[in-house]
């Protein structure tokens, strides 16, 4: 396959662009896809543009979208129209368009059925007016689309917020709709890489009230807009959307991090989005870290390069362009080292993540196409030290402070998790301490009374432990205790609990286990301990008492029975199990 890219500022330049393509276009081909990413927002101009191309290339499939910036040869092209001519050797193309005048849910269901009947369907590109078309309802019907089919695309945008947006083909121009391009081929490889780079900041907040799935009314039972007022001093006014551009919300769904950028606010404090947010989900504020964003992009580029593509399309959120400003060149330039590249800046990106087709924010979606066999040797992409130096110079004080807060918050969270562990853990043996193992036992008793399952407990005491400390020292005694703990953990199930009861005494709680089976576990523990060569002149042994909790028995009475069994084991010769 072959990709040829050019850009024009006026229709008069189109003839020269077409002539350049004609000179390099292979004589034999299966199909041509002409992708138009345009700065024009005049319906009549778009009609003339597609007509001119269609007359010169009557067999070509033509699709396009208005955009807020074009991408060509690894560079940003502002206020230009970028044209990508992709020539396929054995790939067939099918173009479908959907209008808001029909039911998007029904359209999605019909399109899914059509896709199931397509032979060698390997990918679908979507261009949509996400502000005015119910793409969520459409994509919801495609959940059963084969996971082998690559899905990608973007939402139409413009440079000025009040200008009309369009997606179009050679015979349809839609201000509220969607265009789909289906790629059918036994040999075409399509690799999609997507990344954000924005980093979550602060604590999770629960979505406690919504209106539909595009409006968040409340976060933690407070008006949603108040989080921007409280944490960022961004107030609901005419500059609200501009001020929140670099501070989206981040949510986790199906194991995937998704960004959600408010499109607008409402008088009641609700926030309006162009992608779904569901009641009960948790979100966190996020901030843009230029270095992190570019590092995400580098990893995506390296992954894309490993597939040795012959052509690349990029769908990138306009917020990335606004946020990165002059540094956007560092995000784009390495793509040109991989393959010819064309793309656009979008209002919402489309990609399959976590098993679903998602509408995204803040994301860069890059798509590599290859019909030929993979090249044997993958060249290494360049990385200039000058870029790193300039990135460090350009990093603002606010970004550095946000980075500092993020790292310290992560460290605090790790420290808190460690404190939780320490609060319930015996420091020497790393088993549960007495308070925690007693709590686990009480919970097992409570569960037993609810669901009627048995609970058995083993109490263990190391024999002659004082003489071990007196003869070999406390360090040797500590090693014996740690070995004892390891034996217990290796002898029980994940659902069981083992703890240090005190000194050289241990307790093992076995939920769902009857007395006979518990005795087998105890005997296995006793035997394993006696076979360990821990001391130079004597074996280490243990005495074990076992008991099953009786229906209606309180913990105090049970402890007394269990302790009596252990006492009997000690008095009757040690190194034995008594139940």
Verify that 172 and 297 share a domain, yes or no. Answer: yes
Mean residue pLDDT of the chain comes to 90
CA atoms of 132 and 562, how far apart (whole Å) = 71
CATH number of the domain enclosing 462? 3.30.70.270
Verify that 371 and 481 share a domain, yes or no. Answer: no
Domain boundary among 270, 287, 304: 287
Residues in the chain: 579
Verify that 131 and 8 share a domain, yes or no. Answer: yes
Verify that 136 and 31 share a domain, yes or no. Answer: yes
Verify that 164 and 219 share a domain, yes or no. Answer: no
Verify that 166 and 268 share a domain, yes or no. Answer: no
Residue 402 domain-assigned?
no
Tell me if 578 sits within 8 A of 566, measured CB to CB.
yes
Residue 274 domain-assigned?
yes
pTM of this prediction exceeds 0.75:
no
Q: What is the pLDDT of residue 267?
A: 93
Tell me if 577 sits within 8 A of 546, measured CB to CB.
yes
Most distant CA pair in the chain, distance: 105
Residue 415 domain-assigned?
no
Verify that 295 and 171 share a domain, yes or no. Answer: yes
Helix (H, G, I), strand (E, B) or coil at 513: coil
**Strand-pair partners of 128:** 155, 178
DSSP states along 442-484: HHHHHHHHHH---EEEEEEEETTHHHHHHHH-HHHHHHHHHHH
Q: What is the pLDDT of residue 192?
A: 97
Beta strands 31-38 and 61-66, pairing class: parallel
Residue 397 domain-assigned?
no
- Checking 25-29 for CB contacts under 8 A at 24+ apart, the result is 25/85, 25/87, 26/2, 26/87, 26/89, 28/89, 29/87, 29/88, 29/89
| End-to-end Cα distance, the chain | 78
Verify that 106 and 190 share a domain, yes or no. Answer: yes
Residue 428 domain-assigned?
no
Tell me if 9 sits within 8 A of 72, measured CB to CB.
no
Q: What is the pLDDT of residue 546?
A: 96
Residue 401 domain-assigned?
no
Calculate ∠ Cα 329-245-178, nearest 5°.
80
Domain boundary among 220, 255, 287: 287
Residue 214 domain-assigned?
yes
Q: What is the pLDDT of residue 408?
A: 66
Tell me if 44 sits within 8 A of 117, measured CB to CB.
no
Domain span at 466: 434-578
Q: What is the pLDDT of residue 397?
A: 47
The two tokens of residue 452 are 């009627």
Q: What is the pLDDT of residue 388?
A: 52
The residues of the chain scoring below 70 in pLDDT are 376-410, 420-422
Verify that 377 and 450 share a domain, yes or no. Answer: no
Calculate ∠ Cα 230-233-236, nearest 5°.
95
Tell me if 482 sits within 8 A of 514, measured CB to CB.
no
**Domains: count for the chain:** 3
Going across the sheet that includes 364-370, the strands are 75-77, 70-72, 341-346, 311-317, 364-370, 189-195
Residue 394 domain-assigned?
no
DSSP code for 247: -
Dump pLDDT digits (tens) for 255-267.
Answer: 888 999 998 999 9
Domain boundary among 383, 407, 424: 383
Verify that 47 and 30 share a domain, yes or no. Answer: yes
Verify that 463 and 362 share a domain, yes or no. Answer: no
The two tokens of residue 343 are 């793309």
Verify that 113 and 21 share a domain, yes or no. Answer: yes
- C-alpha gyration radius of the chain: 33
């Amino acid at each position: 396959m072959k990709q040829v890219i050019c850009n024009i500022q006026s229709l008069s330049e189109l003839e020269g662009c077409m002539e350049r393509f004609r000179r390099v276009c292979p004589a034999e081909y299966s199909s041509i896809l002409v992708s138009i990413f345009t700065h024009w927002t005049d319906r009549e101009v778009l009609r003339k543009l597609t007509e001119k191309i269609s007359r010169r290339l009557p067999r070509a499939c033509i699709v396009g979208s208005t955009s807020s910036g074009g991408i060509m040869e690894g560079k940003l092209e502002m206020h230009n129209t970028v044209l990508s001519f992709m020539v396929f050797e054995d790939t067939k193309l099918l173009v479908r368009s959907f209008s808001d005048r029909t039911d998007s849910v029904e359209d999605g269901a019909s399109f899914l059925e059509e896709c199931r009947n397509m032979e060698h369907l390997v990918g679908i590109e979507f261009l949509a007016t996400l502000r005015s078309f119910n793409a969520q309802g459409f994509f919801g019907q495609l959940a059963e689309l084969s996971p082998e089919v690559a899905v990608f695309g973007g939402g139409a945008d413009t440079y000025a917020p009040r200008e009309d947006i369009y997606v179009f083909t050679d015979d349809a121009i839609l201000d509220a709709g969607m265009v789909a391009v289906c790629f059918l081929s036994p040999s075409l490889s399509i690799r999609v890489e997507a990344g954000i780079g924005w980093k979550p900041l602060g604590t999770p907040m629960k979505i406690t009230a919504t209106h539909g799935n595009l409006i968040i009314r409340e976060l933690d039972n407070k008006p949603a807009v108040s989080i921007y007022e409280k944490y960022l001093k961004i107030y609901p006014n005419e500059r609200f959307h501009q001020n929140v551009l670099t501070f989206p919300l981040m949510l986790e769904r199906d194991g995937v991090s998704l960004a959600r950028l408010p499109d607008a606010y409402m008088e009641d404090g609700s926030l309006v989005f162009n992608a779904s947010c569901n009641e009960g989900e948790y979100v966190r504020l996020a901030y843009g870290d230029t270095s992190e964003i570019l590092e995400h992009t580098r990893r995506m580029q390296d992954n894309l390069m490993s597939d040795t593509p012959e052509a690349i399309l990029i769908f990138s959120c306009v917020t990335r362009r606004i946020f990165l400003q002059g540094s956007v060149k560092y995000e784009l330039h390495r793509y040109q080292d991989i393959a010819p590249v064309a793309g656009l800046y979008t209002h919402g990106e489309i990609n399959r993540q976590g098993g679903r087709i998602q509408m995204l924010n803040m994301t860069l979606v890059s798509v590599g196409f290859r019909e030929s066999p993979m090249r044997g040797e993958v060249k290494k992409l360049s990385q200039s030290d000058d870029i790193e130096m300039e990135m460090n110079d350009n990093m603002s004080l606010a970004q550095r402070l946000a980075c500092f807060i993020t790292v310290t918050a992560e460290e605090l969270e790790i420290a808190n998790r460690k404190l939780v562990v320490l609060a319930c853990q015996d420091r020497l043996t790393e088993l549960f301490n007495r308070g925690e193992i007693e709590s686990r036992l009480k919970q097992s008793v409570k569960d037993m009374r609810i669901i009627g399952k048995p609970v058995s407990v083993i109490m263990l005491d190391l024999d002659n432990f004082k003489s071990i400390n007196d003869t070999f020292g406390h360090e040797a005694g500590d090693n014996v205790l740690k070995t004892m703990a390891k034996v217990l953990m290796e002898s029980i199930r994940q659902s069981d609990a083992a703890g240090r009861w005190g000194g050289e005494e241990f307790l093992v709680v076995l939920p769902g286990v009857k007395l006979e089976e518990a005795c087998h576990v105890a005997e296995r523990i006793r035997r394993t301990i006696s076979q360990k060569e821990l001391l130079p002149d004597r074996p280490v042994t243990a005495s074990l008492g076992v008991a099953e909790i009786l229906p209606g028995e309180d913990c105090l009475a049970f402890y007394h029975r269990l302790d009596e069994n252990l006492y009997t084991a000690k008095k009757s010769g040690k190194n034995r199990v008594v139940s």
